[in-house]
Chain A
Amino acid sequence: MDILIINGLLIDPSQNMEQQGDLLIEDNTISGIVDQKSYSVNGDRARVKGHESKEFIVIDAKGRWVVPGLIDIHTHMRDPGYEYKEDIETGTKAAMAGGFTSICAMPNTKPINDNKSITQYMISKAKSFGHVHLFPIAAVSKGSEGSELSEIYDLVDAGAVAVSDDGMPVLSAGFLRKALLYVKPIGIPVVDHPEELSLSKSGYMNEGIASVKLGLNGIPQTAESIAVARDIMLAGETGSKLHLAHISTTFSIELVRWAKKMGIPVTCEATPHHFSLTDDAVDGYNTNAKVNPPLRSEQDRKALIEAIADGTVDCIVTDHAPHGYDEKEIEFDKALNGISGIETSLGLSLKLVHNGIIGKKRLIQLMSQRPAQIMNLKNKGTFKAGSDADVTIIDPGKTWTVDKTRFVSKGRNTPFHGMELKGRAIMTITGGTLHGNISS
């Protein structure tokens, strides 16, 4: 499709750009910024100098931010196997509603995505709906059991962009070391969910005052930090790319900071729920606030925000984990972990900008540019000429109230229901295809 987006605030950290301007999309590719004098608008169509043979659809983005399509590199689409929680149709549509144009989907489906037929199934199903681009993260071990390597070359040939046993940590240091060595020539990252199970297995929430008051066994912060330290050591030794999922503790952050200073090839992500909430949200046995890693203390939350601001955290991800009603409306210890977060992520992340903690460019770096770089998604996360026509248009001032009953996702498990947020995506362009309504 050929599109001209005019009057918007163009924000592209890859070009250090934050300026009013007009963006030209031609043949589903970003063509570049065009000068106001080079086109003439007639209604909702425009003619552009040098492209006389074409008529461009005009989108007037006055007062909006026009940014490279947002990318969420940590989601659970639950398809195949758990379609009652989410399927690729609803999950990708929910992602689109959240402002994303690309997502990565974790392999803990049923069966586990440890073979190319499942990888291909996920990609082709997502393509058939066209809501967003879907890039599977395949299992690093067969059945995610942590003992035998998956056929990683085969999986990457089929379209997987990384490997992980997410939902579970890569169980042993020995296996993670082998995995890191094996993927080195391929250049994809190993994504680890850092958790030392011997410390976490008997707990249901963060260990702290809140867990004492609720009489719930706690998960100490070391359960995560020890695994982060282990993973960093192995990345340092092997020189392979390691991406740490959803870090949440002060010590984890300090360890990543140190690793980066040492030049170890480690990246990490943070979720909106970890930087927006603390373990106080569990009060009243709120299973919608039960998540792994658990919501932490206020000190950890502040440390995470600081790490987002100073660059220690590379990207924001949702860890979108939809569950069925009966899996959450149950005894706290039996409730499943996870938050349906893909439709609230941008609104919660925009708070960081509204509160002056980060700038607009940094936000887009966290939600588009760095995710693309970490997962080697070529021609994404940027407006450089020749990039894919993936664009998100954000109304930064639009106030709205989170209403789980209106989620596109099947997962209604959110601790943010009823919260007022400022700013949301009103339109996405995915591979040149328009979704949404600029005037909404």
Chain B
Amino acid sequence: MRSEKGIIGLKYLDKKDIEQLVETAFSMREISLRSVKKVPALRGKTVVNLFFESSTRTKTSFEIAAKRLSADVVNFSYSSSSISKGETTIDTAKNIESMNPALFIIRHASSGVMELLAKHLHTPIISAGDGTNEHPTQGLLDIMTILDEKKRIDGLKVVVAGDIYHSRVARSDIYGMGKLGAKVCFFSPPTLITDDFASLGATITYDATEAFTDADVIIMLRIQLERQGTGLFPSAREYSRIFGLNEQKLKRAKPDVIVMHPGPVNRGLELSSSVADNGAHSRIMKQVENGVSVRMSAIYHTIGEGHGYTDN
């Protein structure tokens, strides 16, 4: 699922692939710290950001990543698309493919759309998230951020908390981190998970104390406010009180726990401001920074043709 069709899910990657992608991301990070933040690796290649679902930060992160590798980036977004004119997703992608891009970065609201498009396109695809299925570069940047801090991931207690049922981040995290040996614990109200999630290799708890005690890493997922009123949880107030993370609950974790969040944060809902801004523990901004490096790595490994990414 790497060289030919790009990266459409961490479920398809093995441990070695993941380690290699993250390792390259670490060495790519240096490029972003230079005054001239650009290497010529992908000069002359066109990368198309094909976003069928709105996104600001992921799209920007991919765009910056591709540009730092000297690729030309074209953004295609839902609102200006032909989708509103009734064109199918396959036709839209095939039309753009006819203009010979080197790579598609795709986000779409339907789970499994990457597999569908991979069947119809010959251009490689990197998934920027599909439905409730996977968000592989988010999984990779989460792994990178953990390794950055802890130097290892094997044996760590990683808590992923929130709306697990509808989360592509939770799935990519467990697929990736599970392969690297992390002990992943899902913490969620029972309405936002099913017992079958244990089949992914996670333990499941509905109890905050059990979840956060001795955690090395806590990943708080964004709660979609529009799920309020659908009966999945009664109110932001109660969700925050029982399932959110605050300073008091954080004390149960290991002293060197790091707190992560895929963003955007609902302050005061899943995460209190004091935790989100706690420099000793919060690594949310680091995740965003690492996101660019991971996406540079993913793009490079997919279409880089192996001729190096340094200036030489």
CB < 8 Å: which of B11, B113, B194 contacts A331?
B113
Instruction: Name the B residues within 8 Å of A212 (CB-CB).
Output: 194, 196-197, 199-200
The answer to whether B38 has its CB under 8 Å from any CB of chain A is: no
**Roughly how many angstroms separate A333 CA and B88 CA in the complex, as a whole number?**
13
- Residue of B whose beta carbon sits closest to that of A330: B88
Stretch at the interface among A47-55, A88-96, A203-211, A355-363: A203-211
Stretch at the interface among B39-47, B129-137, B218-226: B129-137
Evaluate contact between A334 and B110: CB separation under 8 angstroms: yes
Evaluate contact between B194 and A213: CB separation under 8 angstroms: no
Evaluate contact between A332 and B110: CB separation under 8 angstroms: yes
Evaluate contact between B111 and A333: CB separation under 8 angstroms: yes
Evaluate contact between B133 and A331: CB separation under 8 angstroms: no
Evaluate contact between A285 and B112: CB separation under 8 angstroms: yes
Stretch at the interface among A69-77, A214-222, A339-347, A387-395: A214-222
CB distance from B121 to the nearest CB of A (A): 13
Evaluate contact between A209 and B196: CB separation under 8 angstroms: yes
**Roughly how many angstroms separate A214 CA and B112 CA in the complex, as a whole number?**
7
**Roughly how many angstroms separate A215 CA and B108 CA in the complex, as a whole number?**
13
The answer to whether A329 has its CB under 8 Å from any CB of chain B is: yes
Evaluate contact between B197 and A331: CB separation under 8 angstroms: no
Evaluate contact between A213 and B112: CB separation under 8 angstroms: no
Chain A interface residue count, Cβ-Cβ cutoff 8 angstroms: 20
Evaluate contact between B90 and A213: CB separation under 8 angstroms: no
Evaluate contact between A218 and B134: CB separation under 8 angstroms: no
CB distance from A172 to the nearest CB of B (A): 21
Instruction: Name the A residues within 8 Å of B197 (CB-CB).
Output: 212
The answer to whether A263 has its CB under 8 Å from any CB of chain B is: no
Evaluate contact between B108 and A331: CB separation under 8 angstroms: yes
Evaluate contact between B11 and A213: CB separation under 8 angstroms: yes
Cβ proximity bits A302-336 to B, threshold 8 Å, 1 near / 0 not: 00000000000000000000000010011111100
- Residue of A whose beta carbon sits closest to that of B168: A215
The answer to whether A284 has its CB under 8 Å from any CB of chain B is: yes
Q: A208-B196, A331-B116, A333-B131 are in contact. Are A216 and B88 (CB under 8 A)?
A: no
Q: A213-B199, A215-B168, A215-B171 are in contact. Are A207 and B194 (CB under 8 A)?
A: yes
- Residue of B whose beta carbon sits closest to that of A220: B194
Evaluate contact between B134 and A215: CB separation under 8 angstroms: yes
- Residue of A whose beta carbon sits closest to that of B110: A331
Q: A285-B112, A330-B90 are in contact. Are A214 and B194 (CB under 8 A)?
A: no
Instruction: Name the B residues within 8 Å of A332 (CB-CB).
Output: 110-112, 116
Q: A211-B196, A216-B132 are in contact. Are A326 and B116 (CB under 8 A)?
A: no
Instruction: Name the A residues within 8 Å of B131 (CB-CB).
Output: 215-216, 333
Evaluate contact between B111 and A215: CB separation under 8 angstroms: yes
**Roughly how many angstroms separate A329 CA and B88 CA in the complex, as a whole number?**
10
Instruction: Name the B residues within 8 Å of A284 (CB-CB).
Output: 115
- Residue of B whose beta carbon sits closest to that of A212: B196
The answer to whether B89 has its CB under 8 Å from any CB of chain A is: yes
Evaluate contact between B112 and A331: CB separation under 8 angstroms: yes
**Roughly how many angstroms separate A213 CA and B165 CA in the complex, as a whole number?**
11
Instruction: Name the A residues within 8 Å of B194 (CB-CB).
Output: 207, 212, 218
CB distance from A300 to the nearest CB of B (A): 15
**Roughly how many angstroms separate A181 CA and B196 CA in the complex, as a whole number?**
42
Instruction: Name the A residues within 8 Å of B11 (CB-CB).
Output: 213
CB distance from B216 to the nearest CB of A (A): 25
**Roughly how many angstroms separate A71 CA and B24 CA in the complex, as a whole number?**
63
**Roughly how many angstroms separate A21 CA and B171 CA in the complex, as a whole number?**
62
CB distance from B250 to the nearest CB of A (A): 29
CB distance from B88 to the nearest CB of A (A): 6
Evaluate contact between A216 and B133: CB separation under 8 angstroms: yes
**Roughly how many angstroms separate A333 CA and B132 CA in the complex, as a whole number?**
11
**Roughly how many angstroms separate A331 CA and B88 CA in the complex, as a whole number?**
9
Chain A interface (Cβ < 8 Å from any Cβ of B): 207-209, 211-218, 284-285, 326, 329-334
Q: Which 10 A-B pairs have the closest CB atoms?
A: A215-B133, A285-B112, A331-B110, A215-B111, A209-B199, A215-B132, A332-B112, A212-B196, A209-B196, A333-B110
20 more CB-based (< 8 A) A-B contacts, given A215-B168, A284-B115: A207-B194, A207-B196, A208-B196, A212-B194, A212-B197, A212-B199, A214-B111, A214-B112, A215-B111, A215-B112, A215-B130, A215-B133, A216-B111, A217-B166, A218-B194, A285-B116, A329-B116, A331-B89, A331-B108, A333-B110
Chain B interface (Cβ < 8 Å from any Cβ of A): 11, 88-90, 108, 110-113, 115-116, 130-134, 165-166, 168, 171, 194, 196-197, 199-200
